[in-house]
Each structure stands twice: as C-alpha cells, then as structure tokens.
Amino acid sequence: MTSVIELRTFHTIEPARQDLLDVYADVRADLLHLPNYALSAFAERLERHATEPGWEAVLAYDQGVPVGYAYANTIEADDRWWKRVTPTPPAAYTDRGAVALKEIGVRMAWRGTGTARRIHDTLLADRSEPYITLMVNPLAGDGKVHRLYETWGYKDIGRSQPSPASPVLIAMISSVHSPS
C-alpha cells in the first residue's frame, strides 16, 4: 500500500505547534538528552523563531499523522545568524535578505522517500528572497546529511556555533529558485 503525503503550509505557529513538537521529539529522540537538542530548548527556539519576519512552516502528513516538517524565516544583513558565521559571508548573500532554514526533519520510516525534499521545495516555492541558508551538524548521519544538502545545491560558506551548547555547524547557502 502506497501512502500519499499531504503537505500543509503554516504562517502562524498556533495550528502547527504541537505537530512540530511531536515530530521533532521523534526525529531527535536519540539526542534529546543533550541540552541543545532537548525538547524544551527546541520549544523555546520555535516560539522565538515564529515571531520573526517571514516565518513559515511546512508539515507533511501521512493519513493525518505528521511525519516531517521544516520551518524558516527571513533574515537581513544585520541578523545574528550572519554575525555568527566565520568567515563573514559575502555581501552578495546577505545584502538583500535571505531565507534561513531553521529546522527540517522527517521521521525514520519516511526517510529516503523524497519527503524531506518535497517539504523543502514547498517551503521555498513562494519565497521572494534570492538565497536560502542553513546550518548543519557535519556529524549528523556520519556526514550523510551534509552530503544530502550538497546534492540539493547547497555549498559551504563557513562555520557557526549558535550557542555554547550547540556543536560547531557548517553554514551552507543556495539560490532559492535554483534547479538542482
């Protein structure tokens, strides 16, 4: 039996909050004991991010059950996102605003099905910013997650450690509407 994944877009947190928390908890289950990945830390970040300009989330549902998500918001040249990246990203990436992909995750049973890519592409479909940036833990999936983003058209632009509890991440960037 083949399931049909339904994608839903949200521009406010309220109708999506619990599904985002539930999927995150499942996706990051093996990391929840670490301070940066704790459900309470994610919930705090989610609430803060949802108040930022251009916040949008896409959730994937299989027969009404949330199975994946991504959310992002707009960042400007003076955003702390860019200030934490070393070396300083070129102005060409930062001076016209960009989409910051803050989180993306898919439950185990739906990995490798194209669900994450569909969520990602739906999130970007109506964005007007020229670039999208994300930060990835280079150790995630023994490097597989970083390599996946490269196949999606992202390239490395630096490193960042968003908080003392966070691992050092690789900052990546791609054109919002580039074919990949």
Where exactly are the structural domains of the chain?
A: 5-175
Residue with tokens 């930062």: 94
| Residue range 79-118, pLDDT digits in tens | 999 999 999 999 999 998 999 999 999 999 999 899 999 9
Q: Please, what is the Cα angle at 102 between 81 and 119, to 5 degrees?
A: 145
User: Residue 167: pLDDT above 90?
Assistant: no
Q: Is the peptide bond before 87 cis (omega within 30 degrees of 0)?
A: yes
Q: Span 5-175: which CATH code?
A: 3.40.630.30
| Residue range 21-78, pLDDT digits in tens | 999 999 998 888 988 889 999 999 999 999 999 999 999 999 999 999 999 999 999 9
The H-assigned helical ranges of the chain are: 17-27, 39-49, 80-83, 91-94, 115-124, 144-151
User: What is the value of pTM for the model shown?
Assistant: 0.92
